[in-house]
Amino acid sequence: MTEFARNARRVGTAMAVLAMVASPGAVEAEETNFEKATYEVSRAVSPVRIDGVLDEETWKHAVVINLPYEIMPGENIPPPVSTECLITYDDRNLYAGFRAHDPDPSQIRAHYCDRDKAYRNDYVGIMIDPFNDERRGLEFFCNPFGVQMDFSRNDVSSGNQEDATWDAIWKSAGRITDEGYTVEMAIPFTSLRFPRTEGRQTWGFMAFRAYPRTDRHQIGSKPYNRDLNCMVCQWDKIVGFEGITPGRNIEIAPTFTAHRTDEREEFPEGSIANGDPDPELGISARWGITPNWSVQAALNPDFSQIEADMAQLEINTRYALYFPEKRPFFMEGADFFRTPIEAVYTRTVVEPSRGLKLSGKEGRSALGVFTARDDVTSLMFPSNQGSDIILLDQDVTTGVFRYRRDVGETSNLGVLTTAREGDEYRNRVYGVDGNLWLTSKDLIRFQLLGTMTNYPWETAEENDQPHKLFHGFGADVVYQHGERDWQWWAYWDHRDPGFRADVGFVRRVDLREFGLGGQHTWWGEPGARLRRVFLGLEGERTEDHSGLLTDRSVNLFAGAEGPYQSWLQTRVWHETEYYDGDTYDLNAGHFFFNIRPSGDFTCSVGGNLGEAIDYDNSRKGKRIRLSPGLTRDLFRHLYLQVDHTFERFYVDGDRLFEARLHQARLTYQFNIRTFARAIVQYVDIDRNVDLYIDEDTDAESRDLFTQFLFSYKVNPQTVCFLGYSDNWEREIGFDLTQSDRTFFLKIGYAWVQ
């Protein structure tokens, strides 16, 4: 028996024992009535002041919706606390009020933080489906201080996941009381899309409360059926809203930005020279042409990214690193352009000077189009063996067209086209995709894409790419079966060597990949130490287009959720990997553990241990990679996040390199609108140059990045940012030296009508 097989058997036995501890047998859900309720919503009888106090006359007449179900970790059992949600409306707003009772208000977890960051706290909110198509919805949440979180949810194409890239302009307030806390929300109809009708409307609806203590209790107004792979499809209904209109639905957001970058002229001995200030006026506008259609335009827009990316160790890497999008213009409606093959990755638009976006939904059809003019051309050159990204100092125009059609009760079909055009350069992507629900538990997801690419001659020559127009084909097909206790899946991926999705993020091509896997889940009874345990097995095989086996693996994985919001995931695998002319057999494992023992403290640790390939020198070695981290809420206003990554690589018993990445983020939140934040990132790498083939390899390198930011934010567009950042470097021969520094200012205002 191989060492991998012995390890897999040990893990499997251990997880089976854990499963029996969590639940002596498969816990069957109690008989629950999953029928949808309907609530009649009436108009407000008095004005509502959003101050977190439910003292207006209209709240006495609002419909009251109780939250009688704990849906996680308990399965539709009575919750530990009682909650009331009140709903009403007037000509301009949808109003929601909450009375969140708590037996010990001193234990309420509430901190001042930036919007969309209050998920560690107690919070309440509503989920609505204005089109009542039981496919997609919007979510509005608030913590006890009124800190806002808003998300979109897509049951059909996003796997029942929330998307935080969607932002709306709305009002909220909250207060902690002797009985718990209360929250008020006012959501303008101008921030929503809904059917055009003069009569009554029916919307999907669910009220929700997160009550984190030893467990993170998730409480709802509706029981949740774990045998269904959707959430929006299970929501109740609210009826009313006669005579509502979206108004003019016009948003105009002028911005002023200015930055100055100072650089050291001759590094490291030269002095830092002050750069020229670069002020710029810009404007973004959004017009709701109809309740269902809107157009956005931006001239000299501020597409800058305010928050620094989390740093990643870029050592012994084979493929290009991925960083998430954080720029507001591209984040809005991002889920609509998301497909199985990531053919739209908006960070390929680097320095745009203008942009235009049209999006909307009419009946079963939805359409999205955007275009941007960029001063820089970003290109990724993928292959089976690796990928690189380069930037060309030339203009490029990017365009994306997306159409989606709902089919049947829950399925959809879509068309996607992207285009990039520059000087002697062009790339086209065109194809179809779909999510076909065969039953409520069985899904086939697919995408077929064709591409056409032509690079400038010099670019092709320098990067070993075709010198003439070339084509490619890509496909992604997945079958998934999911129910309460069992999940299984199979998938097939195909990328021609000439497949290029330059508006997207596809870092590997020239492959034919097939995989299948399955997982069983055991659910703990109420009060059990383990809430959930799962055990699964997955295998995959990849060949290039010559028929050469490049990857083959068998993965055994397991996980468990326990007290204090703890969870553990482990994975062990045996892998065959082809690289640079040789095939390697590798045994390794991965783990991640996270726990929140109190409302103010979270800690985690992850790691990779085992055999790996030294890509710089094309040989087999052993890797140890550990990534501990912690978060700490200090009082109500101060938040600290510390992350560390340590990696050591051995070849034939000798240390090849040792790398450390230290990151710290300290935020002081003055109130729900204002914060100051400091970010420090430090990379420290030591190499044994005697073991490297490349004689020019640096024995050591040190890089330091700092950023300081002051933020005042009324809503996602009415903002003021003032910032400073710099970079420091150190190599053999000189100490840590500042290479550049940048000062940054942005002021934006949103005028809404």
Q: What is the DSSP track for 562-587? A: ETTTEEEEEEEEEEEEEETTEEEEEE
Predicted local confidence at residue 28, as pLDDT: 38
Q: Taken in order 330, 331, 333, 334, is the CA torsion positive or negative?
A: positive
126 touches 67 (CB < 8 A): no
pLDDT for 89 beyond 70: yes
Predicted local confidence at residue 735, as pLDDT: 85
Q: Which range has highest mean pLDDT (8-17, 370-379, 548-557, 696-705)?
A: 548-557
49 Cα distance to chain centroid: 34
| Domains, the chain, with CATH or none | 32-240 (2.60.40.1190)
Please give the structure tokens belonging to residue 65.
């919706």
pLDDT for 217 beyond 50: yes
pLDDT for 362 beyond 90: no
Q: Predicted confidence band at 282 (pLDDT cuts at 50, 70, 90)?
A: confident
Whole-angstrom CA distances from 459 to 46, 393, 468, 504, 731 are 67, 12, 11, 19, 31
**Low-confidence winner among 96-100, 333-337, 444-448, 687-691 (lowest mean pLDDT):** 333-337
User: What's the mean pLDDT in 113-134?
Assistant: 92
Residue 648 to residue 652: CA distance in whole angstroms = 13
Contacts of 128 (CB under 8 A, 6+ apart): 94, 137, 138, 139, 140, 192, 203, 204, 205, 238
Q: Predicted confidence band at 7 (pLDDT cuts at 50, 70, 90)?
A: very low
User: What's the mean pLDDT in 734-741?
Assistant: 89
Residue 578 or residue 306, greater confidence: 578
Determine how β-strand 638-651 pairs with β-strand 619-634: antiparallel
Predicted local confidence at residue 712, as pLDDT: 93
Predicted local confidence at residue 29, as pLDDT: 41
What pLDDT, in 10s, does the model give residues 468-495?
A: 999 999 999 999 999 999 999 999 999 9
Residue 556 to residue 535: CA distance in whole angstroms = 8
- Proportion of the chain above pLDDT 90, given as a percent: 63
Predicted local confidence at residue 564, as pLDDT: 92
Predicted local confidence at residue 266, as pLDDT: 85
What pLDDT, in 10s, does the model give residues 680-714?
A: 999 999 999 999 998 888 899 999 999 999 999 88
**Surface-to-core class of residue 525, CB atoms within 10 Å of its CB (0-12 exposed, 13-18 middle, 19+ buried):** middle
Whole-angstrom CA distances from 659 to 680, 693, 738 are 17, 19, 21
Residue 282 to residue 353: CA distance in whole angstroms = 9
Q: Predicted confidence band at 140 (pLDDT cuts at 50, 70, 90)?
A: very high
Number of CB atoms found within 10 A of residue 55's CB? 9
Predicted local confidence at residue 9, as pLDDT: 36
Whole-angstrom CA distances from 109 to 72, 126, 632, 635 are 18, 19, 13, 11
Q: Predicted confidence band at 630 (pLDDT cuts at 50, 70, 90)?
A: very high
Look up residue 308 and give its DSSP letter: P
Tell me what the pLDDT averaged over the chain comes to: 88
pLDDT for 1 beyond 60: no
91 touches 78 (CB < 8 A): no
Predicted local confidence at residue 14, as pLDDT: 36
**Low-confidence winner among 7-11, 634-638, 695-699 (lowest mean pLDDT):** 7-11
Three-state DSSP class for 688? Answer: coil
Predicted local confidence at residue 750, as pLDDT: 81
453 Cα distance to chain centroid: 30
- Helix, strand, coil percent values for the chain (each to nearest 5): 5, 55, 35
pLDDT for 268 beyond 90: no
Q: Phi-psi bin for 662: left (phi > 0), alpha (psi -120 to 50), beta?
A: beta
What pLDDT, in 10s, does the model give residues 160-175?
A: 677 777 788 899 999 9
Predicted local confidence at residue 270, as pLDDT: 85
Q: Predicted confidence band at 502 (pLDDT cuts at 50, 70, 90)?
A: very high
pLDDT for 325 beyond 80: no
What pLDDT, in 10s, does the model give residues 442-474?
A: 999 999 999 999 999 999 999 999 999 999 999
Whole-angstrom CA distances from 100 to 5, 97, 104, 112 are 51, 10, 12, 18
Residue 336 or residue 333, greater confidence: 336
User: What's the mean pLDDT in 200-216?
Assistant: 94
Residue 224 to residue 204: CA distance in whole angstroms = 14
User: What's the mean pLDDT in 30-55?
Assistant: 90
What pLDDT, in 10s, does the model give residues 403-440?
A: 999 898 889 999 999 999 998 999 999 999 999 989 88
Predicted local confidence at residue 309, as pLDDT: 58
**Low-confidence winner among 108-117, 121-130, 248-257 (lowest mean pLDDT):** 248-257
689 touches 705 (CB < 8 A): no
Predicted local confidence at residue 635, as pLDDT: 87
User: What's the mean pLDDT in 24-52?
Assistant: 78
Predicted local confidence at residue 291, as pLDDT: 61
Predicted local confidence at residue 3, as pLDDT: 38
Please give the structure tokens belonging to residue 696.
């020019």
Q: Predicted confidence band at 296 (pLDDT cuts at 50, 70, 90)?
A: confident
Number of CB atoms found within 10 A of residue 641's CB? 16
Q: Predicted confidence band at 2 (pLDDT cuts at 50, 70, 90)?
A: very low
Predicted local confidence at residue 206, as pLDDT: 97
